[in-house]
C-alpha cells in the first residue's frame, strides 16, 4: 500500500477515534504528498518510495526545528503540538540508524571511494547522502564522515 493510501486510512481511524492530535499531523502529511504529486514537473502519478521518504524527512525536520524554536521562546503549547506531529510522522519514517551504524556505513563508503583524509569529504558525503537518505539525518551523516575522515588523516 502506498504512503498516501496508508495515511488516508489512518485519517479515517483518527476521525472515528476523535483523535484531533493525530488527525492534524496526518492531514499535514497528506497535504505535503498532494502538493508533491501536483507540483510542476511531477510525473502525474503516485510518488516513488524515495520521494515519499523525502517528504516525510522534510516534514520531520520542519516540525523538529519549529519545536526547538518554540522551546527557546518558552511557548510550551506550540512546542507540544509540534512534538505530537513529530510522533505521527515517526510512525511512517523508516527506522533510523544509530550513530554506530551510520559510522560503520561511512567507513565502508570511505574505503570504497578511496578517501585518504578530510580533503575527501565531498566525495564521501555525496555517496553517503544518497546511501543513507531517509535512514539517518544529514547532520548525523556529516558528523560521522568528519569523524571517520579525521581518523584516516
What percentage of the chain reaches a pLDDT higher than 70? 95
CA angle 136, 77, 60 (to 5 degrees): 15
Question: What does the pLDDT read at residue 153?
Answer: 67
- pLDDT tens digit string along 93-128? 877 778 888 888 888 888 888 878 788 788 888 888
Query: 36 CB contacts (<8 Å, ≥6 apart)?
Result: 42, 47, 51, 55
Question: What does the pLDDT read at residue 105?
Answer: 87
Domain range 99-152, CATH class: mainly alpha
Q: What is the pLDDT along the chain (153 residues), one digit of tens a residue?
A: 788 889 999 999 999 999 998 999 999 999 998 888 887 666 666 777 778 888 888 898 899 999 999 999 999 999 999 999 999 998 888 777 788 888 888 888 888 888 787 887 888 888 888 887 777 877 888 888 888 888 876
φ, ψ dihedrals at 47, nearest 5°:
-80, 155
Question: What does the pLDDT read at residue 72?
Answer: 95
Q: What is the DSSP letter of 114?
A: T
**Is this model's pTM higher than 0.75 or not?**
no
Q: Which three cell numbers stand for residue 134?
A: 531517509
Domain boundaries, the chain: 3-90, 99-152
C-beta separation of 63 from 86 below 8 A: yes
Please give the Cα distance from 24 to 129 (Å, whole number). 30
Please give the Cα distance from 50 to 126 (Å, whole number). 16
Please give the Cα distance from 55 to 48 (Å, whole number). 11
Domain range 3-90, CATH class: mainly alpha
Question: What does the pLDDT read at residue 123?
Answer: 85
One DSSP character per residue, 40-105 reads TT--SSPPPHHHHHHHHHHHHHHHHHHHHHHHHTT-HHHHHHHHHHHHHHHTTSPPPPPHHHHHHH
Amino acid at each position: 500500500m502506498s504512503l498516501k493510501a496508508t495515511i488516508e486510512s489512518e485519517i479515517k481511524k483518527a476521525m472515528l477515534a476523535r483523535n484531533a492530535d493525530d488527525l492534524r499531523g496526518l492531514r499535514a502529511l497528506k497535504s505535503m504528498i498532494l502538493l508533491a504529486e501536483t507540483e510542476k514537473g511531477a510525473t502525474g502519478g503516485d510518488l516513488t518510495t524515495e520521494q515519499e521518504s523525502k517528504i516525510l524527512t522534510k516534514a520531520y525536520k520542519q516540525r523538529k526545528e519549529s519545536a526547538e524554536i518554540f522551546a527557546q521562546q518558552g511557548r510550551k503549547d506550540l512546542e507540544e503540538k509540534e512534538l505530537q506531529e513529530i510522533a505521527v510522522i515517526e510512525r511512517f519514517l523508516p527506522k533510523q540508524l544509530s550513530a554506530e551504524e551510520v559510522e560503520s556505513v561511512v567507513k565502508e563508503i570511505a574505503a570504497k571511494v578511496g578517501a585518504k583524509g578530510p580533503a575527501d569529504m565531498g566525495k564521501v558525503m555525496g555517496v553517503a547522502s544518497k546511501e543513507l537518505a531517509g535512514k539517518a539525518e544529514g547532520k548525523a551523516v556529516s558528523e560521522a564522515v568528519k569523524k571517520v575522515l579525521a581518523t584516516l588523516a
